[in-house]
Every structure is written in structure tokens, then in C-alpha cells.
Structure 1
């Protein structure tokens, strides 16, 4: 159940995105209705987090860099929107525990596996943390692809792909790095299939 604040935030984000861009959403039927889900998207712009979550019925819980939680307004707003902090460049065990707990409780967690925005638009290497979430939970792993430049009034496409089959990797006790590679391959496949 989305909080009123989150729903209001979605409305504001949808309005802004539709006003300034020609947004096209594909594959919403691939989002599980109730079970834990891990949304894994490429990252090309600061507007990616609002885009990924604004057009879905379910609330998306994001990991956000810890520095954002130190800003005067954001430090009280972000937790109310369901975000939780992660310290970049380190193995943040608290963030890992928080994300895993949410997934096991049936929540939907949004991550950008590259850990930072791509400077050239090409998909980078996925961090091991996303593989950890995929292997240690039974959550559906949904690859997402964002295609577009975010130039004013240009077209931006968001594609939610079918959940990836992670069961074999879980059974084989694959490493988080191997699982991250499989997830990034799923995102790359969406990018390749939907290039304009």
C-alpha cells in the first residue's frame, strides 16, 4: 500500500515527466503485483529514479547515496518516501540487510546496479550488491532499460522486461558477481532490442 506522500510524489513526477518529455512506458505487466521484486535499471540521468517508479501502482523503495540523507530537506523526506541510505564505495552491510529485509517482506526495491550514472550512455559493470540481493532473496528480478537523452520534449522510453530466471544461479550457489553479470546481461538485452 502506497503512502499518501509517495502517491502525491508519483503524481508530481508523472506530471513533470509528461510535461517535459514524451514518455513511453512498456512492459508494466512484467511487474509482480504482490511478491518481493528487485527492479534493476541502467542509469543515465538524475531523473531515472522518479521515472522508474512514477508510473507503477506499487511503491518502489530505493537505495540512495548516504550523502543525500544529510541534506536539510531530504534527510526527513527520503525516509518518508521509503528510501534507505547506502554508503558508496564501501561494503555497506546495513544497507544490504535493509534491502534484503524489504525484499523478503514482499516489497519492491529499485536499484541501479552500475552504482553511478553512465557518462557515455553505455551500460557499465554491475556491482556485486545487486547479485547479493538476487541470490539471497526469492524476489523476482526485473530488468529495466531507459532509452533517451532527456532533452526537453524528446522521447524517453522505459522498458520493464520479464523477470530473469535466477533459480539456477541460486541452486549452483553462484557468486554475487556472477549474478550481477547475469542481471546486466538482461538489461543489455533490453537495450539492444529496443534501440531506436
Structure 2
């Protein structure tokens, strides 16, 4: 067992002990090929929660501050995370993300860039649209619906993949592509609320 699998198993045990995580829509998740996994961001625990519920290993984009110290840097690297400088156009992070997508991996990110404590879905940053347009990845929207309260239900909902082929051909902007992604995440949140 590699470190990623070990860390995922530990996180799975801990998180599912404290939160009654219910996962929906994993049947929509592509079994192979490149995937851009985009989720809303309501809590610091979103990355491990999405990481343990996704059907495939996820390479998460994580804030550069987590790579500042040797031990935390090694931990981040061993759980498949790569750094991004927030608030900047980080070309190295964009290159790394595209490299993973070209290798057929799953790249995960939270397009809002920071936690939205209201529970609503905020505006996403252009980076998500950049990845969607510059790669051949299918984009899987994901909604995390809380709140994070011990022994209360927490929902993780995976939507149907978004095919950006036509939008790539029409050369839409990265901002417009991100808006499409955020709209799909918002729909998942609203659908959950109607069914709850």
C-alpha cells in the first residue's frame, strides 16, 4: 500500500466516524481518462472529504503556504497535492495541472479559491475554465453540502460530466467556462435542497 492509499484509508475512517457522509452520483464519474473535478468550498475539510469519496485518486491543487515547511511539503506531495499561489496567475501550477490531465489523471480544485461560509456557491476563478479549455478532460461538478457537524449528515454529490468540446471549438473565455462549471455546481446544491 502506498502512502496515498494509506492516508486515504486513515482519513476515511476518521471522517466517516465523525460525519455521516452520504455520497451520491459516483456512477457519473468517468472510470478512466482525464477528469477535472470541481467542487464548491465550505470548509477546510472539503479536500479530504472529496478525496475519500471520489472513485479515483485525485491530484489536488493546494495553497502554496502548505508547502512552506519541509514536513508539510512532503505530506502534501505524498497525498498528490501540488501548490498554487493564490491571487496570482501561477503558471507553474497551471503547467502542473495540465501535465496531470494530459496523463489521464484526475485533477481536483475548488474554483472559488477560498471557503464560502454562507453555504452558497460563489463566483469561480478563471483557472478552472483554463484547465477545462486547454485540456481534453471531462469536467465533473461536485457539491459538498453541510454543515460540518459531528454525527450529522454531510452530502457529497457528483454531477454528470460536462463536455467542453463545443465550447473549446467556439473559443469561449476561461471566465465564461468557469461560469458554466459553477452553474452546474449550483444546480447540484439546489437539487439536493429540494430533495432534502
TM-score over 0.5 for the pair = yes
Maintained 8 Å contact 1:10/1:55: no
Superposition map of 1:14-25 within 5 A: 14-25=12-23
Give the TM-score normalised by structure 1. Answer: 0.96
Distance 1:57 1:123, change over 3 A: closer
Alignment partners' CA distance in 1, 2:8 and 2:102: 24
Partner of 1:126: 124
Which of 4, 9, 21 is the aligned partner of 2:2?
4
Q: CA deviation at 1:78?
A: 0.8
- Structure 1: give runs of 5+ residues left out of the alignment: none
1:46 is matched with which residue? Answer: 44
Cα-Cα RMSD: 1.1
> Are the counterparts in 1 of residues 119 and 145 from structure 2 also a CA contact under 8 Å?
no
The 4+ residue runs of structure 1 with deviation greater than 3 A are: none
Unaligned segments of structure 2, at least 5 residues: none
Q: Kindly indicate whether residue 175 of structure 2 is the aligned counterpart of residue 186 of structure 1.
A: no
What is the number of equivalent residue pairs in this alignment? 194
What corresponds to 2:69 in structure 1?
71
Bigger mean CA deviation after superposition, 75-84 or 93-102? 75-84
Pairwise CA distance, 1:73: 2.1
Counterparts of 2:88 and 2:34 in 1: how far apart (Å)?
A: 25
Q: Is the 8 A contact 2:109 2:128 kept in 1?
A: yes
Offset of residue 72 of structure 1: 4.1
1:174-196 Cα distance to aligned partner (Å, 9 max, x none): 00000000000010010110112
